[in-house]
A = this chain, B = another copy of it.
Amino acid sequence: MSEFYLVRVHVTLKKGVMDPQGEAVKQGLLTLGYQGVKEVRVGKYLEVALEAPDEEEARRQVEEMCRRLLANPVLEDFSVDIHAAQRHQEEHENTSAYSI
């Protein structure tokens, strides 16, 4: 029997790695008048809907995915949150949705 999980993955730049995007966003926010903004870092956020036998296995798989594909170990760190999810079969055959 397998379960559904909704996995939330955060991929962020390693400390010390320059973040031109974050810098540009910060400048944009300052221009808009948000003088309180001290720093902005931009990362990626992925939601992965996963079928796996159990939570432990789901975590093992996703962490491996991160190392192999989702994050670039040279420049990025990642973190993984796992939530048991429900699968909603929708009216159309091939579409489904997952929610925590």
Contact = CB atoms under 8 A, between A and B. Distances in A.
A18 interface: no
A32 to B, nearest CB: 6
Interface string A21-45: 0100100110010101111111111
B49 A40 contact: yes
**What is the oligomeric copy number?**
2
Interface string A1-35: 01010000011100100000010010011001010
A62 to B, nearest CB: 9
Interface of A: 2, 4, 10-12, 15, 22, 25, 28-29, 32, 34, 36-52, 58, 61, 65, 68-70, 87, 96-98
